């Protein structure tokens, strides 16, 4: 990581155009509200013009349409948020943990670690696991035997990869008979897995997380799922077993995808939405019950349970009207 | 585990009937789509007839009504999925971890481990815990002091058993006063607990998970709950404190059972359903807001908040009709 | 902890009034149903009068209005539940883990532990962390580098504090570019954090949990959030990034607060409610779709998707009426 870069040096690396002094020296990124001298911030849109006027940052990343909102030295570019991400990567490491295997980590037999892999304190990596170049497991991540991780995979603390899927069959007496889960989990390159997220091993075939997938914290991926490349899921999402989710999807926080469904590429599922049927067309899908003050909610909710009756009454009125 | 079994040998152990060559040699189970020679698969119903015709498996488990759907050697039985579970158990161990206590596990004082117990790497088993024959704790499971686990219990990585329940009382100034949680957790025989699932200790009495209960990943069981025998819960379910759930229930993924409720035996709760009242009769209960494309959702949702007004308008029309 | 206290001694410490023999000896608390001789229980309201009559407890804590419901020795006070919490604290330690750092815990560089801190087995405390007097980390808690914990903080097993927030920007090809998360987490005094709860570090500024906040299990707090003092959240709550939640709020189990929202002080959010807009006024807010037997649910749910049409039909009837 460089200690200090000028705006001119940043633009020569990442593109864009400097307005104001290209010699302005930057040593870190910061937020609009709290950036200090020597820091560069970004403006996501014209709504924040007041904050932009008040910032103590030394420079601002913004789009052409917002260029006039500040007199500070600035970098003008097409996608300020993306540009900011890249600037931040210039000043900050993507993972803070040094390569190597911590003394307290436990490695099974036949584990293959590529160059630059970092295994944090208290991690448990089971037998026969392969992990690609530059991947990082933060403290206390667990990978069950037989799983495969690609290159530059980041696994946060408490994540569990490859535990048994939930495969049970009911016997004649209503007791559950466990189905051995003999598949594994295969994780592609550049995947990030959040803290306490769980990804189950396949029951027969493998559970597959394709390259570039980003999973936030406390996500549950059931057995035999396939998550398509470059799909991102926010925290607390649940994906039931054997769901097949496309590429470039975004799944909002606490959404739930039921099992055995197929979701097309480029689908956006809104937060807290439950998907009960396959989705075959790109687009945004939403299903949240509207919240309200408790009294209004109670009044309207009672009627939801009698919607069929209400519709019947309207139908009757229409019929009488017609017959009148 | 046997290396290879013939269909005849399988049937002599598990019942059912062979159609085709009983000498067909099987060494593993596989999925309809990916099974290879030497593997046996199963057919859950006639919908999958095309896949059955294309499978490379050496044999198929199916019901009498589907028997004609393949010319492969097959085992005909009443419940193909259950039969398949039992066949898979013949070829695969139920837990992959060897008996014994891993060197990196931490055991408290007065821990009593029965025969064949397996404690994985990094597990922490607190003071005074008893664990029955053949139970298996996968890496990094934690059991707080004083809890009891029965025989053949499986606890997956990251599960936490016996942490304090959420017991707090508000004081005059609106600050929370912690109520010490002095109960424990008692877990019956043949229970399986998924990765990162949490089961809180009782506040005064114990939290009880009866025999044969199966809990998937990331489930939260609050303090003082009782989960009746042979009940199964899919991933991400939440059960609030002091809920009393019957035997042989199934709770779908991401369902939420509020506190202090009583659920009868043989109740099915659909995925993503919130149960706010006790359920006294067996049956299936559902409560999910329907998802839709975002624009349709927005239009209909706005009206949900005005249902009471809509009902009033219908009532008024009906009254006018009557008076006309 | 004292072995035994008389009712008189309890009242002299905590206030309230004894009715019956003040020399009654108490050695522990218990539930109304299961308390034994030598234990004191509490009566939360007159509904439980039958249980109060049948209890084997040696004494009961109750309010003046319930005083006549039992002839047992009793302590009369304004808030029986709060009083009970305080009595239980007299007999039971708030955390069961001894001070000191367990041999299997891993501490980074420049960690500052104040007096009486307890770090359980398998905990990982990263570089540069400060932890205040009397705080307790149960086994396998993880704190990432740079975070700060106040005094008397309790962190349960499996909790992860300070993992990277979910900050990603999409590039021109639809791939995700990680935004380094360079803030930390600051946790105030007297905070309790449940098992497997995750609190992400800030992206630029810090994530802040103010004093007296109580978080149950499996809660997810996104980056840059602020949770106001003395707010309590039940299990499985999700708070998306940059939400700013007020003081003295209560958030029910499995509720979800979307990102960048502002919630005022003294707001109650009901269980399983999704909050999509900022809340500016104190009060109780609810949004749960009503559950029902499956057939009724299916019938009514189908109509929810056609509410706009139903409203149109009512409007048409009203118009015709008017024109008639």
Report the alpha-carbon distance of residue B19 to residue B13 in Å, rounded: 16
- Token pair recorded at residue B259: 């506190």
Tell whether the model's pLDDT for residue C230 goes beyond 80: yes
CB contact under 8 A, C30 and B204: yes
Report if residue A144 sits inside a domain: yes
Place of tokens 């807290």: A272
Tell whether the model's pLDDT for residue B285 goes beyond 90: yes
CA nearest to B90, candidates B173, B20, B189, B14: B14
Report the alpha-carbon distance of residue B127 to residue B145 in Å, rounded: 5
Q: How many interface pairs between B and C have CB atoms less than 8 angstroms apart?
A: 216
Place of tokens 């975070």: C147
Residues 6+ apart with CB under 8 A from C93: B180, C1
Residues 6+ apart with CB under 8 A from B68: none
Domain boundary among B37, B62, B91: B91
Residues 6+ apart with CB under 8 A from A109: A127, A128
Contact, A160 vs B157, CB < 8 A?
yes
Q: Which of A196, A203, A285 sits opposite B292 (nearest CB)?
A: A285
Place of tokens 């118009």: C319
Residues C185 and C249 in one domain: yes
Report the alpha-carbon distance of residue A227 to residue A249 in Å, rounded: 9
Closest Cα of chain C to A289: distance in Å? Answer: 6
With CA atoms as reference, the chain A residue closest to C285 would be: A293
Give A280-285's long-range contacts (Cβ < 8 A, gap of 24+): A283/B293, A283/B294, A284/B293, A284/B294, A285/B291, A285/B292, A285/B293, A285/B294, A285/B297
pTM of the model: 0.97
Closest Cα of chain B to A129: distance in Å? Answer: 14
Report the alpha-carbon distance of residue B86 to residue B160 in Å, rounded: 30
Residues C65 and C128 in one domain: no
Tell me the backbone φ, ψ of residue C269, rounded to 5 degrees: -105, 125
Q: Residues A56, A68, A156, A223: which is the catalytic one?
A: A223
Mean pLDDT of chain C: 96
Tell whether the model's pLDDT for residue C70 goes beyond 80: yes
Q: Which of C28, C235, C290 sits opposite B166 (nearest CB)?
A: C235
Question: Domain residues for B56?
Answer: 5-91
Could you tell me which residue, B50 or B201, shows the higher pLDDT? B201
Report if residue C319 sits inside a domain: no
Q: Which of C29, C82, C291 sits opposite B170 (nearest CB)?
A: C82
Q: Give the CA diameter of chain A.
A: 87
Residues C124 and C82 in one domain: no
Residues A122 and A259 in one domain: yes
Chain C, window 224-263: residues with a beta carbon less than 8 angstroms from a chain A beta carbon: 236, 238, 240, 256, 258-259
Split at pLDDT 50, 70, 90, the class of B272 is very high
Report if residue A238 sits inside a domain: yes
Query: What is the pLDDT, as a whole number, of residue A95?
Result: 73
Place of tokens 């740079």: C146
In the sheet with A267-269, reading across from the earlier edge strand, the strands are A100-101, A118-119, A136-137, A154-155, A192-193, A214-215, A232-233, A250-251, A267-269, A283-286, B292-293
Query: What is the pLDDT, as a whole number, of residue B94?
Result: 80
Residues written for chain A: 324
Report if residue A206 sits inside a domain: yes
Tell whether the model's pLDDT for residue B324 goes beyond 80: no
Report the alpha-carbon distance of residue B81 to residue B124 in Å, rounded: 36
SS3 B47: helix
Mean pLDDT of chain B: 96
Chain C, window 43-82: residues with a beta carbon less than 8 angstroms from a chain A beta carbon: none
Tell whether the model's pLDDT for residue C172 goes beyond 90: yes
Tell me the backbone φ, ψ of residue A129, rounded to 5 degrees: -90, 140
Contact, B302 vs A298, CB < 8 A?
no
Q: Which of A120, A236, A311 sits opposite C303 (nearest CB)?
A: A311
Could you tell me which residue, C46 or C219, shows the higher pLDDT? C219
Q: Residues B56, B102, B223, B248: which is the catalytic one?
A: B223
Closest Cα of chain B to A52: distance in Å? Answer: 33
Using a CB-CB cut-off of 8 Å, the residues of chain B touching A292 are 305
Average pLDDT over residues C58-72: 95
- Token pair recorded at residue C298: 């299916």
Residues B82 and B146 in one domain: no
Closest Cα of chain A to B116: distance in Å? Answer: 19
Any bridge partners for residue A199, and if so which? A161, A221
CB contact under 8 A, B139 and A124: yes
Report the alpha-carbon distance of residue C144 to residue C223 in Å, rounded: 14
Residues C46 and C127 in one domain: no
With CA atoms as reference, the chain C residue closest to B291 would be: C305
Report the alpha-carbon distance of residue A305 to residue B189 in Å, rounded: 41
Terminus-to-terminus CA distance in chain C, angstroms? 82
CA nearest to B249, candidates A49, B261, A254: B261
Report if residue C290 sits inside a domain: no
Contact, C29 vs C10, CB < 8 A?
no
Average pLDDT over residues B77-90: 97
Report the alpha-carbon distance of residue A318 to residue A302 in Å, rounded: 24
Report the alpha-carbon distance of residue A137 to residue C176 in Å, rounded: 19
Residues C85 and C107 in one domain: no
Question: ipTM for the complex?
Answer: 0.96
- Token pair recorded at residue B24: 């067909």
Contact, A287 vs B291, CB < 8 A?
yes
Contact, B114 vs B151, CB < 8 A?
yes
Residues A106 and A246 in one domain: yes
Query: What is the pLDDT, as a whole number, of residue C320?
Result: 86
Closest Cα of chain A to B75: distance in Å? Answer: 18
Residues B190 and B251 in one domain: yes
CA atoms within 13 A on the CB side of B220: 31
pLDDT per position as a tens digit, B115-146: 999 999 999 999 999 999 999 999 999 999 99
Contact, B199 vs B185, CB < 8 A?
yes
Using a CB-CB cut-off of 8 Å, the residues of chain B touching A290 are 301-302, 304-305
CB contact under 8 A, B217 and A142: no
Q: What is the CATH number of the domain that holds B245?
A: 2.160.10.10
CA nearest to C269, candidates C226, C236, C222: C236
Split at pLDDT 50, 70, 90, the class of C310 is very high
CA nearest to C254, candidates A323, B227, A236: A236
Query: What is the pLDDT, as a whole number, of residue C96?
Result: 73
Tell whether the model's pLDDT for residue C220 goes beyond 90: yes
Query: What is the pLDDT, as a whole number, of residue A46?
Result: 79
Residues A68 and A105 in one domain: no
Chain B, window 152-191: residues with a beta carbon less than 8 angstroms from a chain A beta carbon: 154, 156-158, 190
Residues C83 and C114 in one domain: no
Report if residue C68 sits inside a domain: yes
pLDDT per position as a tens digit, B106-119: 999 999 999 999 99
Average pLDDT over residues B159-188: 97
Contact, B58 vs B10, CB < 8 A?
no
Percent share of chain C, pLDDT over 90: 92
Calculate helix-pair angle for A307-323, C307-323, nearest 10 degrees: 30
Residues 6+ apart with CB under 8 A from A243: A222, A225, A226, A257, A258, A259, A260, A261, A262, A263
- Look at A87-101, B19-33, B274-288, C71-85 and tell me which has the smallest mean pLDDT: A87-101
CB contact under 8 A, B218 and A200: no
Domain boundary among B91, B123, B140: B91
CA nearest to A101, candidates A112, A93, A90, A91: A112
pLDDT per position as a tens digit, B301-313: 999 999 999 999 9
Query: How many other C-beta atoms lie within 10 A of the C-beta of residue C283?
Result: 12
CB contact under 8 A, A256 and B248: no
Split at pLDDT 50, 70, 90, the class of C95 is confident
Q: With an 8 Å Cβ cutoff, is A30 touching chain C? A: yes
Q: Would residue B102 show up in a list of annotated catalytic residues for this protein?
A: no
Q: How many distinct structural domains can be found in chain C? A: 2
DSSP, residue by residue, A256-317: EE-TT-EE-TTEEE-TTPEE-S-B-S-EEEE--PPPEEHHHHHHHHHHHTTHHHHHHHHHHH
Residues B231 and B305 in one domain: no
Do strands C168-170 and C207-209 pair parallel, antiparallel, or not at all (unpaired)?
A: unpaired
Report the alpha-carbon distance of residue B66 to residue B271 in Å, rounded: 30
Chunk chain A into consecutive blocks of 10 residues (it has 324) and report each block's average pLDDT, rounded to whole numbers: 91 97 98 95 87 94 94 96 97 88 98 98 98 98 98 98 97 96 98 98 97 98 98 98 98 97 98 97 96 95 92 91 80
Query: What is the pLDDT, as a whole number, of residue B189?
Result: 98
Q: Which of B91, B216, B308 sits opposite A166 (nearest CB)?
A: B216
CB contact under 8 A, A287 and B297: yes
Q: Which of A175, A286, A317 sits opposite B291 (nearest CB)?
A: A286
Report if residue C220 sits inside a domain: yes
Domain boundary among B91, B124, B155: B91
pLDDT per position as a tens digit, C252-302: 999 999 999 999 999 999 999 999 999 999 999 999 999 999 999 999 999
Q: What is the CATH number of the domain that holds C72?
A: 3.40.1390.10
Name the burial class of residue A116, with classes exposed (0-12), middle (13-18) and buried (19+) by CB atoms within 10 angstroms of its CB.
middle
Report the alpha-carbon distance of residue C149 to residue C159 in Å, rounded: 13
Could you tell me which residue, A319 or B11, shows the higher pLDDT? B11
Report if residue C305 sits inside a domain: no
Contact, B150 vs B188, CB < 8 A?
yes
């Amino acid at each position: 990581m460089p200690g200090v870069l000028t705006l001119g040096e940043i633009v020569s690396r990442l593109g864009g155009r400097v307005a104001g002094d290209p010699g302005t020296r930057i040593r870190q990124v910061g937020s609009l509200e709290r950036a200090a001298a020597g820091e560069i911030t970004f403006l996501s849109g014209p709504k924040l013009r007041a904050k932009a006027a008040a910032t103590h940052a030394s420079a601002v990343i913004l789009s052409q349409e917002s260029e006039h909102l500040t007199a500070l030295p600035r970098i003008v570019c097409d996608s300020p948020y993306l540009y900011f991400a890249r600037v931040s990567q210039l000043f900050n490491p993507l993972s803070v943990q040094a390569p190597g295997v911590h003394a307290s980590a436990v490695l099974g037999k036949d584990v293959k670690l590529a160059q630059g892999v970092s295994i944090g304190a208290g991690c448990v990596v089971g037998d026969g696991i392969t992990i690609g170049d530059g991947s990082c497991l933060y403290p206390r991540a667990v990978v069950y035997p037989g799983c495969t991780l690609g290159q530059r995979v980041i696994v946060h603390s408490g994540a569990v990869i490859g535990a048994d899927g939930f495969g049970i069959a009911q016997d004649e007496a209503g007791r559950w008979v466990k189905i051995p889960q003999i598949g594994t989990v295969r994780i592609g390159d550049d995947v990030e897995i959040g803290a306490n997220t769980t990804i189950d091993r396949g029951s027969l075939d493998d559970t597959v997380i394709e390259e570039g997938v980003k999973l936030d914290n406390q996500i549950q991926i059931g057995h035999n799922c396939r998550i398509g490349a470059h799909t991102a899921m926010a925290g607390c999402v649940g994906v039931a077993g054997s769901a097949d989710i496309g590429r470039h999807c975004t799944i909002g926080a606490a959404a739930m995808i039921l099992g055995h469904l197929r979701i097309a590429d480029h689908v956006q599922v809104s937060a807290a939405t439950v998907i009960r049927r396959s989705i075959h067309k790109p687009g945004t899908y939403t299903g949240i019950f509207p919240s309200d003050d408790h009294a209004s909610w109670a009044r309207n909710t009672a009627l939801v349970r009698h919607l069929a009756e209400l519709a019947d009454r309207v139908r009757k009125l229409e019929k009488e009207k017609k017959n009148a």
